[in-house]
Structure 1
Amino acid sequence: MAGIYLHIPFCRQACHYCNFHFSTSLARKNDFISALLKEIPLRRDYLAGESVETVYLGGGTPSLLAAEEIESILDALRSQFPLSDGAEITLEANPDDITTMRLGAWRQAGVNRLSIGVQSFFEEDLRWMNRAHTAPQALDCIRQAREAGFDNLSIDLIYGGPTLPDARWQENVERAIGLGIPHLSCYALTVEPKTALDTLIRRHAMADVSPEDQARQFLLLMDWMAGAGYDHYEISNFALPGHRSRHNSAYWQGKKYLGLGPSAHSYDGVSREWNIANNARYIAEPGLIGEKEVLTAEQRLNEYIMIALRTVEGIDLRVMAERFGVQRAEELRRRAEKYVQGGAIRVEAGRLRLTREGKLLADGIASDLFV
């Protein structure tokens, strides 16, 4: 089983915190669509005929595309890859792009899951982040999606920013829970280098983020979501039973995936490669590979440690022994002992799992456990 990711590199405006590859100019959108439709058949053999269980249109802002463009992309995928019956087909959408007409067209094209970039239900937060939508649109788009028959919904929320005190963060989360949103992706606001947010903070035009506030709000989030019956199945992701993201879960399980579009990454189980992160060069030569890396056994092991530790299933020492050898598994268990004693990791049924407090330190712990 495999997945396909398509990177749509256009946005209406640049969010202050974003460091993804995108352009705010739509002048070459038609050229990009043509290039993407050329790349699809060029990469048909990458997944070696494996059944495609998930398709994810991300970006950027895929909802900026015309409905017929989305339909043509999905039709092209169906013509070249064995999409399974019941494949999860996700479209990332911004609230300001969602209309009743578009929702109907997306469903007609085969989209059956929406991931909506809400970020906050409060106007002050949205303005601070330089989001294109308004607080009323953040609410109304969810109603519209439901009325159009989209029950499989996810929304993004951001916490830890200087405009978001704990009480407002709680209101954001409780509103999502009250709306019955089946899947939430919640991210701590990160100040990435060379973003507008980074520049504004260094110029003292905006307040910096507080790691202490972020840690506290993450702990509160875990408590609220657990109380509402959500499964905290990955560090940043929460789902009601039966509503995990199948596409993202495949990443965390180490399954194969093909990335299409500029800057998109691909993984075939042995090597990782990524397309050039340049729209003009991609349009001139669709599928141009920017770089390829054949992974060593140690790199594959470290990736397994990093990814598995972020999930609720944790690191399975038996799987480690099968894939990388008994000695590696025993060594990891010994090195993890200090975190077990410190209360950051617990050992259950042959698995190493982060505790509530350990999840605050996930990246650091994984890095320390690397071979």
Structure 2
Amino acid sequence: MTSTPAFDLSGDVVALTRALCDIPSVSGQEKEIADAVEIALRACPHLEVLRDGDAVVARTALGRPSRVVLAGHLDTVPVAGNLPTTTTGEGDAEMIHGRGTVDMKAGVAVFLHLAATLSEPRHDVTYVFYDHEEVASRLNGLGRLVRTHPDWLAGDFAVLGEPSNAAVEGGCQGTMRVRITVPGMAAHPARSWMGSNAIHSAGAVLDVLRAYQPRRPVVDGLHYREGLNAVKIEGGIAGNVIPDECAVFVNYRFAPDRSVEEAEAHLRELFGSHQVEVTDAAPGARPGLDHPAARAFVEAVGGTPTAKLGWTDVSRFAALGVPAVNYGPGDPLLAHKGDEQCPAPAIRDALRGLQAWLA
């Protein structure tokens, strides 16, 4: 039996990042890190600590007029020979290498340090550390809390620690996946005129995609850029059969001024008489930067907010009526890569920005 590692939440945030990363926590294997997080947070007398599965929630109860939520996931994609963590460089050039340094244990370390050291924040704060973010949406730990304990997530504003190079990324895009089925009629290739080639007919779907001009709307002052792309195609039975069916799988990333229902209606209109089946969909989230807590957050951390081009769990907060932004150290383009790495100064800068907002 291995002992649960002890975290020093009030010490150096970069050392804490490495300690978190050095506990492998691939999705579905978060118990060890969740246990360690829970034990460390329960040692803070100013926090109430709650747990559901491998999700740990800690919150203050100071009677402040507003409450903010800081949330981050504990799981990572599979390790690729990039643990334990290593460091290169010194000072402003110090770099932390290893799985989870970007996505998103550096952000989690910042939130844990704040949870331990800010006993009198200007807002009441709820800290959420959850499981299963990197796998199927139905398993997502934050989604589970939304369904089973929505009161634990109540707040006026939320920050999700997704890597953003410590810049504010407002809201997120919605996403929809559809299967477009094109029928044909099977025949022998030597007598192809006796059938109808479904793969050839699917060219009409591809023509629509090639000609499509994505919207670039402005939502709450932020510029979003939509995308509509074929991501997979299936068809054919054998090398000597004219295919009687072809399916084109399409992913639509839509701006948060459209609902899921509006996105579906748009695709059905776009593809006309073709059979369109929605296989997966998740709504976007508006930026919510007009909220006083959001404005104060942007002022404290600095920079110019941009739109989040992608889907993140801020959508789950939006569904609860809580405006949310993405903010965390690390380059999102390095997430999930074998050479995942995060600059140590960026972690400390993110901590200082959040301290300025909350202290």
Give the number of the structure whose residues are more often helix, by fraction: 1
TM-score (norm 2): 0.24
TM-score normalised per structure 1: 0.23
